[in-house]
């Protein structure tokens, strides 16, 4: 049996090779590689796609979160609430701003921030919260935004895994004060390298974000504020413009394959991804839970079915973040998920036959446990 990867980036490239090659050739012929016409055009197109007024292209999703915090004036002495069940980039960006991350537990179904836990974590120093739309499923935004308005807290959405997802019919990234996207190659909308974007409706935040991404320049070589070098380059913008045209179709394919998994695994004993009625889940990952996750993973590996764990050790328990003063047992739902979650193969170019093979292998494992 041919190995089944978690994701196949080469297959995606070959599916749109002519368009990608043409876009790259266009940039090479233009001879402008930094903040030129491709970045401007992509920013306009991506802002329109997200349903916001502005998009600002930067060099990574981490930079997008970092600059969003800085644009909002968040820094030393401030607290920012988020979850420990996320990519470490979310917390790294908070620490890069000088603020203190405050980590709370997750909703058991969505794997996203629990609004009640968020409410309990607010202090006089809380300036913002970062709900992470994990695995392609939007967080429960209505109570989060209601709480933010009542407590005068900024909301910065982490949309790194949720390109095109919707909450109450409206795309993620358009709900909070600002939002950050990653275009890491494996994302639903991925570049051919690193890339990211901030999106927002506020004109003043957009202006400040543009200054922050390039040394604070309003005019070349003159810094009006202290800034960074966090630019999205022209080649990546050109590639992203091509891929953006395919994003909805790719997301629809992910949903179709996820629903096939759901049907195949309905009697497997695994905890399957939830599909809340008020969201459109775009399945950046198809994540199941099983109490014998590591044994299941080994079983699948023997059959050349590749899997990943997102994420094996919650941030509050990682050695680098001992300074945050959390201990085992502080975030029980997060800790349980970390010990049981498993991401099965899922990408738009994956065949339905491959999904069937993965599903049958999972069922074989489950039956073996019951015998």
Which stretches of 125-168 are assigned E, i.e. beta strand? 126-129, 154-158, 166-167
Residue 7 has pLDDT above 70, yes or no: yes
Domain boundary among 199, 228, 244: 244
Stretch 103-115: mean pLDDT: 97
> pTM of the entire structure?
0.97
Model confidence pLDDT, tens digit, residues 309-364: 999 999 999 999 999 999 999 999 999 999 999 999 999 999 999 999 999 999 99
Cα of 315 vs its chain's centroid, Å: 16
Q: How far is the C-alpha of 201 from the C-alpha of 178, rounded, in Å?
A: 8
Asked if residue 61 belongs to a domain, the reply is: yes
Same domain, 279 and 224: no
Domain boundary among 195, 229, 244: 244
Predicted local distance difference test score (pLDDT) of residue 370: 72
Q: What is the CATH number of the domain that holds 293?
A: 3.90.1150.10
Same domain, 234 and 285: no
SS (H, E, C) 319-367: HHHHHHCCCCCCCHHHHHHHHHEEEECCCCCCCHHHHHHHHHHHHHHHH
Proportion of the chain above pLDDT 90, given as a percent: 98
Asked if residue 71 belongs to a domain, the reply is: yes
Q: What is the CATH number of the domain that holds 27?
A: 3.40.640.10
Domain boundary among 192, 224, 244: 244
Per-residue tokens: 95: 């620490």
Same domain, 235 and 254: no
DSSP bridge partners of 289? 271, 341
Cα torsion angle, 148, 153, 154, 157, sign: negative
Residue 219 has pLDDT above 80, yes or no: yes
Residue 83 has pLDDT above 80, yes or no: yes
Asked if residue 141 belongs to a domain, the reply is: yes
- Could you list the residue range(s) of the whole structural domain that residue 276 is in? 247-370
Residue 371 has pLDDT above 70, yes or no: no
Beta strands 126-129 and 170-171, pairing class: unpaired
Same domain, 69 and 209: yes
Residue 1 has pLDDT above 80, yes or no: no
**Surface-to-core class of residue 309, CB atoms within 10 Å of its CB (0-12 exposed, 13-18 middle, 19+ buried):** middle
């Amino acid at each position: 049996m041919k190995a089944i990867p978690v994701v196949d980036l080469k297959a995606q490239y070959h599916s749109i090779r002519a368009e990608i090659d043409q876009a790259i050739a266009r940039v090479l012929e233009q001879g402008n590689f930094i903040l030129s016409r491709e970045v401007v055009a992509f920013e306009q197109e991506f802002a329109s796609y997200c349903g916001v007024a502005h998009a600002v292209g930067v060099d990574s999703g981490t930079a997008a979160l970092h600059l969003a915090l800085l644009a909002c004036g968040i820094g030393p002495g401030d607290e920012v609430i988020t979850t420990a069940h996320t990519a470490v980039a979310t917390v790294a960006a908070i620490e890069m701003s000088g603020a203190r991350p405050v980590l709370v537990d997750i909703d058991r179904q969505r794997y996203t921030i629990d609004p009640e836990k968020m409410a309990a974590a607010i202090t006089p120093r809380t300036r913002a919260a970062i709900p992470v739309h994990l695995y392609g499923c939007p967080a429960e935004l209505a109570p989060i935004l209601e709480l933010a308005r009542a407590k005068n807290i900024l909301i910065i959405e982490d949309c790194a895994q949720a390109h095109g997802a919707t909450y109450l019919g409206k795309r993620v990234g358009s709900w909070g004060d600002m939002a950050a996207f990653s275009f890491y190659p494996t994302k639903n909308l991925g570049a051919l390298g690193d890339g990211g974007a901030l999106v927002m409706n506020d004109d003043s935040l957009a202006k400040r974000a543009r200054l922050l991404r390039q040394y604070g320049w309003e005019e070349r070589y003159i810094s009006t504020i202290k800034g960074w070098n966090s630019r999205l380059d022209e080649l990546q913008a050109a590639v992203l413009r091509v891929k953006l045209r395919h994003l909805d179709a790719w997301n629809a394919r992910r949903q179709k394959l996820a629903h096939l998994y759901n049907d195949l695994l309905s009697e497997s004993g695994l905890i399957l991804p939830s599909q809340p009625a008020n969201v459109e889940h775009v399945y950046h990952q198809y994540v199941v839970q099983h109490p014998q996750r590591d044994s299941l993973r080994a079983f699948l590996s023997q059959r050349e079915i590749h899997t990943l764990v997102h994420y094996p050790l919650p941030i509050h328990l990682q050695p680098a973040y001992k300074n945050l003063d959390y201990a085992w047992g502080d975030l029980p739902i997060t800790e349980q998920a970390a010990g049981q979650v498993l991401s099965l193969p899922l990408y738009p170019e994956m065949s339905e036959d491959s999904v069937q093979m993965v599903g049958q292998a999972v069922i074989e494992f489950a039956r073996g446990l019951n015998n």
